[in-house]
Structure 1
Amino acid sequence: MSDAPYQPIPCVQHERLEFAALRKQWLDVKVDGVVQRLLPLDVYTRDGAEWLLAKNEAGEELTLRLDRLRF
């Protein structure tokens, strides 16, 4: 799926991620069919796609393409 063209996500979901990053609020997000508890750190654009930098409960930093996430 990472080679597929980026599909923009709805503005409401984008705003939810930005607000969670600002408020340091944990979210339950489905990533490739698996629910993960993530702390959003930043939402940014790179290479024609939007990305989330987040930390999981184990403290690992993850970089995830927004169109691969489900809420």
Structure 2
Amino acid sequence: MAEPYQPIPCALHERLEFAVLRRQRLRLRYRTEAGEVEAVVLPTDVATRAGAEWLSFQAESGANQVIRLDAIVSARPA
């Protein structure tokens, strides 16, 4: 994402942090350059760097990924 970071709603940020702490899988829908993706993921960290906030997660395939929080369209328990 080349656009400036847009802070996300506090409720969504809190939901992501709780999912990390509880090791709770989420059904995550997020935007990529190729389009929207929906996947069940295991969130592992929420971090701030380079003026933006990021979610690290493990995909069902086992691959570790990182996305900017403002790319998230929705996040709900899986």
TM-score, normalised relative to structure 2? 0.87
Mapped to 1, the partners of 2:69 and 2:43 lie a distance apart of 12
Provide structure 2 residue ranges, at least 5 long, that are not aligned to the other structure.
Answer: none
**Aligned-residue identity in percent:** 50
Provide the residue aligned with 1:27 in structure 2.
26
Mapped to 2, the partners of 1:36 and 1:20 lie a distance apart of 15
Provide the residue aligned with 1:62 in structure 2.
65
Provide the residue aligned with 1:4 in structure 2.
3
Which protein has the bigger strand share? 2
Structure with bigger RCO (C-alpha 8 Å, 6+ apart): 2
What's the offset of the Cα at 1:39? 0.6
What's the offset of the Cα at 1:69? 0.7
Mapped to 2, the partners of 1:6 and 1:14 lie a distance apart of 14
TM-score, normalised relative to structure 1? 0.95
Q: CA RMSD in A?
A: 0.6
Runs of 4 or more, structure 1, over 6 Å off, are none
What's the offset of the Cα at 1:31? 1.7
Provide the residue aligned with 1:42 in structure 2.
45
Deviations along 1:15-50, whole A, 9 cap, x unmatched? 000000000000011122121111110000000000
